Amino acid sequence: MEEERREVCLNGEEEEVVIKDEDKVALQFMDSLHNYLSLSDSLSSTLRQGWLELASARYSMGTSRVNSSLLDLKFHSAATILKITENEDGKFCVFTCFFMMPFCNITCTTLYDSIGTQPHFTLQKWVSSEHELESTKLEYKNEQPQDSNSIKSSENLMGLADNDEVQKERHKSLSVFGVLISPKLRATQLSFEKALETLIEIANLRSSLLHSFSQLNQEVEDTKE
Amino acid sequence: MYGFEAMTFNIHGGYLEAIVRGHRSGLLTTADYNNLCQCETLDDIKMHLSATEYGPYLQNEPSPLHTTTIVEKCTLKLVDDYKHMLCQATEPLSTFLEYITYGHMIDNVVLIVTGTLHERDVQELLEKCHPLGMFDSIATLAVAQNMRELYRLVLVDTPLAPYFPECITSEDLDDMSIEIMRNTLYKAYLEDFYRFCQKLGGATAEIMSDLLAFEADRRAVNITINSIGTELTRDDRRKLYSNFGLFYPYGHEELAVCEDIDQVRAVMEKYPPYQSIFAKLSYGESQMLDKAFYEEEVKRHCLAFEQQFHYAVFFAYMRLREQEIRNLMWISECVAQNQKSRVHDSVVFIF
């Protein structure tokens, strides 16, 4: 069992504190759990805001202009890509899921966790001009790991910089409701976009939580033996 | 001659004016809205509405209710009132009443065309159409590929036909062309309605001119704000403004070049009737602008009932009832989403 020795100042005197490896994992687990709960609350309030803004947009524009029967059923490239990487026995498996906008119609949410693996989720937003693929398509690839030991905190990778092109992509997704739409509908889109980002952060945190939990369990069993 | 309507109006319009004033007294009051705002569930809303004129329309709806169901049933009440008045009306009141529904007809046409472009089922789209805007050949709209076909196959036999020549092209329909078609049709409709009211003369012309001018000005502001940051050019934006109203023509020139909400505010504040609207908003804010416009609209429509022997009461009643249905939709959404604290963000009290 690895130990780490740190000098901590208590009551004006420096003392040496031994931090065991299992304590570090336990602290990491509790930190992740706290962040997970905070993000869940944040997601809930963001979604509530989004749904209310959608109702407000229907109030302003009218029910004939904002309703589900206007959503586009034609095939078109997805606006957002979710990449799931999983490290198992030294190999990286990449799952790619495509999301349809404008209100983040999640078409693929299948994830799995197994002991010893830690999936990592990455979002690429507004990449429909770069990828000429059908939406709702699930792709499976085996690739060589670039960094098998990296455990990154959740991050969002923008397929395009947050500039005019992103605004164009946003307008394009909302064009199903018309070109001259209320600012409230645009605010709705931003709320659901933020909710999607929060979901990805939650997924990464959950992955970290489960990984820490499985490590703790393993160490407890090792101790019993 | 203006001023002598009292001698002849009641011969043909007296009964219907009495009917519409009776309907007006059935509109929900502030006490009704206070009760509705305190409801916990949509069934509570249904229970409170059962004591109003909407009661017979909602009583047979099974639980659980949905907000769209409440809106649909309340709209049926409006449709029944309208149809009763239309079937009892003689000329020129019957034509006047028909003009009131052309806006819904335009919305339905655009809904069908847009939905068809997005490969939606026609039956599903027809269910979403407003009942006041239905006409016989509306389902045939789904076969048209461009505006020329739209006009030739379907709309040539509808009341919207005179409004079409300005926007006929042979290009295939897309989102931008549909949007321009919508606003061009509505512009032509408003101008035609305005000319008709001017021809009627008297109190109808005076009151309706004010109400339609406000409608035109509000549309100009909404088009300006909604087109900020889009591909719509200044010239195209200018072409969508109606050729009447307080902003015509100099306000339109200024609105056409606005690039943000504060510039729009600066234009509107030059016109005293609209200063009070923006006085309620802080700089850079546009979220509450819709509510401010609706409040002003309700105030003007309520004033229309202060005078007798004119047709504007019919127009005002229809608009007030539509506002009431919007209020009910908003309250229902806030209750359904458990966000009652936000209910007063958009409710516009009529009395």
| A72 chain-B contacts, CB cut-off 8 A | 118-119
Q: Which of B180, B209, B47, B189 lies closest to B105 in space, CA to CA?
A: B189
| B334 chain-A contacts, CB cut-off 8 A | 52, 55
The CB density around residue A163, as the number of other CB atoms within 10 Å, is 9
Q: What percent helix, strand, coil does chain A show, rounded to 5?
A: 45, 20, 35
Q: Which residue numbers of B have CB closer than 8 Å to A's CBs?
A: 68, 71, 107-108, 110-111, 114-115, 118-120, 124-125, 127-130, 175-176, 178-179, 182-183, 222-223, 225-227, 229-232, 286-287, 290, 326, 329-330, 333-334, 337, 339, 342, 345-346
Phi, psi of A94 (to 5 degrees): -115, 120
| A164 chain-B contacts, CB cut-off 8 A | none
- Tens of pLDDT along chain B (351 residues)? 466 788 899 999 999 999 999 999 999 999 999 999 999 999 999 999 999 999 999 999 998 999 999 999 999 999 999 999 999 999 999 999 999 999 999 999 999 999 988 888 899 999 999 999 999 889 888 888 888 888 888 889 999 999 987 667 777 788 888 999 999 999 999 999 999 999 999 999 999 999 999 999 999 999 999 999 888 899 999 999 999 999 999 999 999 999 999 999 999 999 999 988 877 777 666 778 899 999 999 999 999 999 999 999 999 999 999 999 999 999 999 999 999 999 988 899 987
Q: Which residue of A has its CA nearest to B322?
A: A62
Q: Which residue of A has its CA nearest to B285?
A: A183
User: Which of B259, B333, B338, B340 to probe by mutation at the A interface, max A CB count within 10 Å?
Assistant: B333
Q: What is the pLDDT of residue A91?
A: 42
Count CA atoms closer than 13 A to B95's CA, side-chain side.
11
* Minimum-distance CB partner of B223 among A70, A74, A180: A180
Q: Which residue of A has its CA nearest to B335?
A: A52
| B118 chain-A contacts, CB cut-off 8 A | 70-74, 176
Phi, psi of B334 (to 5 degrees): -65, -40
Q: Which residue of B has its CA nearest to A182?
A: B226
CA distance B335 to chain A (A): 11
Residue A46 CB-density burial (10 A; 0-12 exposed, 13-18 middle, 19+ buried): buried
Position B311, amino acid: Y
Give every CB contact of residue B176 below 8 A, 6+ residues apart in sequence: A179, B231, B232
What are the E-state strand segments in chain B?
Answer: none
Whether residues A70 and B118 touch (CB distance < 8 A) is answered with: yes
B159 against A8, higher pLDDT: B159
Residue B61 CB-density burial (10 A; 0-12 exposed, 13-18 middle, 19+ buried): middle
Q: Which of B286, B291, B276, B345 lies closest to B323 in space, CA to CA?
A: B291
Position B17, amino acid: E
Pairing between β-strand A139-143 and β-strand A91-99 as defined by DSSP bridges: antiparallel
Question: The tokens 């169901």 sit on which residue?
Answer: B69
Domains of chain B: 89-190 (1.20.1690)
How far apart are the C-alpha atoms of B239 and B41, rounded to whole Å? 46
How far apart are the C-alpha atoms of B313 and B307, rounded to whole Å? 9
A60 touches chain B (CB under 8 A): yes
- For residue A24 the two structure tokens come to 């570090």
A65 touches chain B (CB under 8 A): yes
Task: Kindly indicate the confidence band of residue A7, based on its pLDDT and cuts at 50, 70 and 90.
Answer: low
| A171 chain-B contacts, CB cut-off 8 A | 229-231
pLDDT digits (tens, 9 = 90+) for A11-68: 555 555 656 777 888 888 888 889 999 999 999 999 999 999 999 999 999 988 998 8
Position B100, amino acid: I
Whether residues B290 and A48 touch (CB distance < 8 A) is answered with: no
Q: What is the pLDDT of residue B223?
A: 96
pLDDT digits (tens, 9 = 90+) for A147-191: 333 333 333 444 444 577 788 888 888 888 988 999 999 999 999
CA distance B309 to chain A (A): 32
How far apart are the C-alpha atoms of B262 and B286, rounded to whole Å? 9
Whether residues A52 and B342 touch (CB distance < 8 A) is answered with: yes
- For residue A9 the two structure tokens come to 């100042």
Q: What is the pLDDT of residue B135?
A: 92
Contact B115, B125 (CB under 8 A): yes
Phi, psi of A40 (to 5 degrees): -60, -40
Q: What's the predicted TM-score (pTM) here?
A: 0.85
**Mean pLDDT of chain A, nearest integer:** 71
Q: What is the pLDDT of residue B73?
A: 95
Dihedral angle of Cα B62, B129, A61, B252, to the nearest 10 degrees: -160
Q: What is the pLDDT of residue A24?
A: 82
